Amino acid sequence: MNGRDGRSPSQNKIRAADTATLSNQNMKTAYELAMERLSKTAPAVKLTGAQKRQLAELDSKYAAKVAEREMALKDEIAKAGTAGDFEKVEKLQEQLVNERKKLQAELEDKKEQLRRAAQ
């Protein structure tokens, strides 16, 4: 039995399934829409290979700095802990957190300067 458009019911089902698939392909996720909006307001900066290497070097350099400070302070923390000076342990732990934050901020500043130079 044919419908109004001259197609059989099975052909109409296939057509409806194709339409649903096409509309799903055209729909974008919220993430995709947000990324499109972001790229319009702040386009991504294209970095050269040399700039990417400089960023990687900065990451490596600051990771080493953080590790160096952690080793030094953790040694002091351990000594204070075995001596029973828990106030000093707490102060050293706070110092470690603050130094990590400071080094991370320095790293981000230098990276941002490098990115701005690329524009």
Give tens-digit pLDDT for 12-47: 555 655 555 555 567 889 988 888 887 777 666 688
Provide the domain limits for residue 16. Answer: 1-44
**Shared domain check, 110 and 78:** yes
Answer whether 75's CB lies under 8 Å from 52's CB. Answer: no
- Report the alpha-carbon distance of residue 79 to residue 72 in Å, rounded: 11
Across the range 82-93, mean pLDDT stands at: 94
Confidence of residue 83 (pLDDT cuts 50, 70, 90): very high
Q: Are residue 31 and residue 60 in the same domain, yes or no?
A: no
Q: Please give the tally of structural domains in the chain.
A: 2
Instruction: Report how far residue 53's alpha carbon sits from residue 29's, in angstroms, rounded to the nearest whole number.
Output: 33
Q: How far apart are CA 8 and CA 13, in angstroms?
A: 9
Structure tokens at 13: 């089902």
